[in-house]
Structure 1
Amino acid sequence: MARRKKGRDISGWLVVDKPAGPTSTAVVNKVRWAFDAKKAGHAGTLDPDATGLLAIALGEATKTVPFVTDALKAYDFTIRLGASTNTDDAEGEVTATSDTRPTDEEIRAALPAFTGDILQTPPAFSAVKIEGERAYTLARAGETVEIEARPLYVESLDLLARLDPDHAQLRMVCGKGGYVRAIARDLGEALGCFGHVVTLRRTWAGPFDLDDAVTLDDVERLARTPELDELLLPLETGLADLPELPATAEGAARLRNGNPGMVIASDAEYGEMAWASYQGEAVAVGTYRAGELHPTRVFAS
């Protein structure tokens, strides 16, 4: 007999302002412990040294994680110009240096090449799997890591400030799978000066913003208290980027059993991913087809 998971059946989203240091998994585990929750997950990894928005789902909200993971995200980051590292950030060993320093105008002129639909090669020190092994495991073992370029959509990439000749602050809004470290590396190469990330902060992701965030210290201070429960955002927050389709009473009952259910017409298009609600609560996510939602995920009532 399978062992039952310990903890509470509690559902919702908590937005944490992740500090530098802990891994994203460590933050999720801390939040799960603080809520005594059965299940928890996050919508997009941040490197240990990165800070900012980490959206954590509890319980039934974990079923909405893919829709936040696929959404656009924004990052503010600082590039150190004049040096590359083997990790593409400040933690790695310097692999090349240059005395060349681009002007602000040269930086701005180079940015359009990194926007729109581009191909990006993830860093050697990344969680990308190569024949079943994580790339960072192979890289740390001294093996040569060859990773194929992957498609990435970058909505915008802007120069925010030139802090000094050696440092530039930028903001990127991109889709799923983007590596800011790779942008810094490739931009430095394009400018002929090399470059790597020294600070990185995620400011928003899909429907979530840092204005909604709590600190990890707050999570620890309020652990196992009703005050912490009050900070949870509804499960439905993770579905904010999808059309909402109110279901009929009969439709909601059918959907909860995993069957197509009748929904009230909305602006959703045929074949579009949407979610059905009944009396204000999410019932299911699925594909809209001619007055019905065909569920792919059903939420417990």
Structure 2
Amino acid sequence: MFALNLNKIPMPIFYGKAALIDYLKSIKTPNSTIGFVPTMGALHQGHLSLMQQSLAENQNTVVSVFVNPTQFNNPEDLSKYPRTLEADIEKIAGLSTDIILYAPSVEDIYEGKVLSQEFDFDGLENQMEGKFRPGHFNGVGTIVKRLFEIVTPTNAYFGEKDFQQFQIVKKMVSKNNLSVNVIGCPIYREPSGLAMSSRNERLTAQNRADAALIFEILNLAKEKFKTNSAAEVKEWVEKSFETNALFELEYFQIADETTLTPCINKISTQKYRAFIAVIVNNIRLIDTISLN
């Protein structure tokens, strides 16, 4: 199954939900809390920072590693997504052997029916990522809801790089009356400013260095938004990428932080956020920054 000697990893590892559920029942007490960090593996320091926060705030922490097929609208993207479970286990164990790992198969999660549930996220799903990745957020909602049902966490931790996903999960929890606190955690960045992502591993060293431009432009856009309209900032960002052949700008959007609707006229009492998706050497990178 793995070259890794699991006998040397003194942490609980489960590949099936039934065994995990039984184990969590056995350690649960009336006052204990479960923190949960759902991941698709290919773990980096950003993931580990979520785990650290969960460890600090809960008696028990569960981490899942599962590449969810229903949230990929592009089959090629799914096939190329890095799967590095051995390395992931070593990284988690290096952080804490108290973490409970759940690494299920597709069959264990979907039981022969690899289909997305249909969700209504009150329009959050129609913006940005939803426009360019049809069905993506139904897949996200399906897997997160299923994992929440299995793990029954008190608190669940999500990185704010995927801010739209974070808001989608909060909406799903609210509309389904699930008793879990969804906690957003700051973006973990490389020294260059590039947002950490599992996809970064597919970039060449030169591409990785060049991609630091994405965060540079976001910071400049934030400054420009203080004195310019959203439309003017958007036009400036689009022109900035037009002059660089390495990048293909998929979208840049300034939106209300809560509703994710595009900003037309600035309102001083509202919080705004800039969202961006850029393709570098056929690898799609996203980032976001608060503008207030």
Which has the larger share of helix? Answer: 2
Settle same-fold status: TM greater than 0.5. no
Q: Which has the higher contact order (CA 8 A, sep 6+)?
A: 1
